[in-house]
Amino acid sequence: MIRAATVYDIAEIRAMIRELAAYERAVEQARATEEQLREALFGEHPAAFALIAEDDETGEAVGFALWFPRFSTWTGTRGMHLEDLYVRPHARGGGYGKALLATLAAVCRQNGYERFEWWVLAWNEPTIDFYKSLGVDFLDEWRVCRLSGEPLRELAAQAPPSLDQTPAR
């Protein structure tokens, strides 16, 4: 069963984020707290949304997907960015990942989103093969860019005086 996450799922979502980070060999980078997730998913102006995959027999949360809307200047429409998709090892092969992606695709269609995009680690061959089986296009000509930590602070310090750049909440 796939359902929308509720505030009562926060601890389980955080646990699965840590499991995903461990699988991706980056557990030290998964620093989000339950309070941050609660605000991001269920605050006054949610920054993201989540789905939970549950085992029909036990009710156990066996996976999750966390996504947020994005905007394309080229299409003039919103799209979806899938930040995390995770199915616990013992539940893999049970159709949960596909069900989560199909539900997200339905959300895209319901909202008029033209694009549904996400990233996958280049070494994660089992997941890449799964995505290929769904007909996913891999955009090899694009590179992910990330600015964080000290380089982000240094570049921000070079910004000219301007209006308040705080996004609407």
Catalytic (active-site) positions:
131
Contacts (Cβ under 8 Å, ≥6 apart) of 85 = 63, 64, 65, 97, 100, 101, 118
Residue 156's H or E segment, with its range, is: helix 149-157
Side-chain half-sphere of 93: how many Cα atoms within 13 Å?
3
Contacts (Cβ under 8 Å, ≥6 apart) of 109 = none
Query: By 3-state DSSP, what share of the chain in percent is helix, strand and coil, each rounded to 5?
Result: 40, 20, 40
